[in-house]
């Protein structure tokens, strides 16, 4: 029987090392790689086609949900989600019978999960598991689309911002600036968490530091090496980056 090919995805080196140590005790598992972020995970999964992926839910730039949504559901490896405190994630996994591990990962729980994963890989992912994964993706997408207002903390106050009025968002150190017309709100948050709260069909990540409302995009001008200058209706010029080129390409395909 061929060894099970596993990939470890977590932005914390110690967490990756812990999973690697647990896996090394099993002779039936071959570790094909490690990734410290979601973007590298997508590329590695597509290139290495692992049977099993240990996927951290909470990562900067692109989290575990973003990785799942970027992959082809019909050719998805068996996923074991890893999380620390994400109660929403745990509820979603329970409802859809997807497996997960809580940090710090317990050895006995890990072994139990790995046994189940092996069975799925060697027996073939059943239609039920595939349907459950698709249902989770649909639930996540629907959850994003329903957001009409964004609650943010600004200088001790809680502001409710209408999502459709947001022009663009930029990262500044450990804060984000939300641009709404002539107003700018400085919020202590991360781009990844904010992106997860916004409707994916209306907001586009074009750079590690930039999210734009697609309804505000007026023009795209070619830049260096396949990147673009994104010009908004008010004249604001933003630059895309290679890491998020796929996002912009998907937007172009939908718009043309």
E strands in the chain = 4-9, 29-35, 52-56, 78-83, 100-102, 149-154, 157-162, 168-172, 175-180, 183-187, 203-207, 210-213, 217-222, 228-232, 237-239
Q: Is the pLDDT of residue 235 over 50?
A: yes
Its pTM stands at 0.56
CA proximity to 160, closest of 141, 147, 173: 147
Out of 92-106, 170-184, 219-233, least confident range: 92-106
| The predicted structure's pLDDT at residue 96 | 46
| The predicted structure's pLDDT at residue 183 | 94
Mean pLDDT value across residues 162-168: 94
Out of 57-66, 83-92, 210-219, least confident range: 83-92
- CA angle (143 as vertex; 139, 145 as ends), nearest 5: 115
| The predicted structure's pLDDT at residue 82 | 86
Band of residue 59 on the pLDDT scale cut at 50, 70, 90: confident
Tens of pLDDT, residue by residue over 63-90, are: 787 788 777 777 788 888 888 765 555 5
Q: What is the mean pLDDT of the chain?
A: 83
| C-alpha–C-alpha distance, residues 186 and 189, integer Å | 9
| The predicted structure's pLDDT at residue 95 | 46
| The predicted structure's pLDDT at residue 144 | 54
Mean pLDDT value across residues 119-131: 67
Q: Is the pLDDT of residue 167 over 80?
A: yes
Band of residue 223 on the pLDDT scale cut at 50, 70, 90: confident
H/E element, 255: helix 245-255
Higher pLDDT, 106 or 130: 106
Centre a 10 Å sphere on the Cβ of residue 40 and count the other Cβ atoms it contains: 17
| The predicted structure's pLDDT at residue 176 | 94
Are 114 and 95 within 8 A, CB to CB?
A: no
* Domain 4-144 of CATH type 3.40.50.2300: yes
Domain parsing of the chain, residue ranges: 4-144, 149-255
Higher pLDDT, 42 or 179: 179
Higher pLDDT, 143 or 155: 155
CATH code assigned to 149-255: 2.40.50.1020
- Are the folds of 4-144 and 149-255 the same? no
| The predicted structure's pLDDT at residue 132 | 64
Higher pLDDT, 139 or 241: 241
| β-strand partners of 163 | none
In this structure, what DSSP letter does residue 226 have? G
């Amino acid at each position: 029987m061929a060894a099970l090919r596993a990939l470890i995805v977590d932005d914390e080196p110690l967490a990756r090392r812990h999973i690697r140590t647990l896996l090394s005790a099993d002779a039936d598992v071959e570790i094909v790689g490690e990734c410290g972020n979601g973007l590298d995970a997508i590329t590695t999964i597509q290139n290495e086609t692992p049977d099993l992926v240990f996927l951290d839910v909470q990562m900067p730039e692109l989290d575990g949900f973003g990785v799942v949504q970027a992959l082809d559901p019909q050719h998805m490896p068996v996923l074991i989600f890893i999380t620390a405190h994400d109660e929403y994630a745990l509820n979603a996994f329970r409802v859809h019978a997807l497996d997960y591990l809580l940090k710090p990962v317990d050895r006995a729980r890990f072994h139990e999960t790995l046994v189940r994963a092996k069975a799925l890989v060697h027996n073939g992912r059943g239609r039920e598991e595939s349907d459950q994964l698709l249902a989770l993706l649909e639930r996540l997408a629907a959850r994003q689309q329903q957001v009409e207002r964004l609650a943010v903390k600004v200088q001790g106050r809680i502001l409710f911002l209408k999502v459709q009025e947001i022009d663009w968002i930029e990262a500044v150190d450990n804060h984000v600036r939300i641009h709404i017309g002539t107003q700018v709100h400085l919020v202590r948050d991360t781009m990844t968490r904010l992106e997860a709260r916004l409707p994916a069909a209306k907001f586009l990540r074009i750079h590690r530091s930039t999210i734009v409302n697609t309804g505000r995009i007026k023009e795209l001008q070619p830049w260096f090496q396949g990147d673009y200058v994104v010009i908004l209706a008010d004249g604001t010029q933003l630059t895309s980056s290679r890491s998020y080129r796929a996002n912009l390409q998907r937007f172009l395909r939908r718009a043309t």
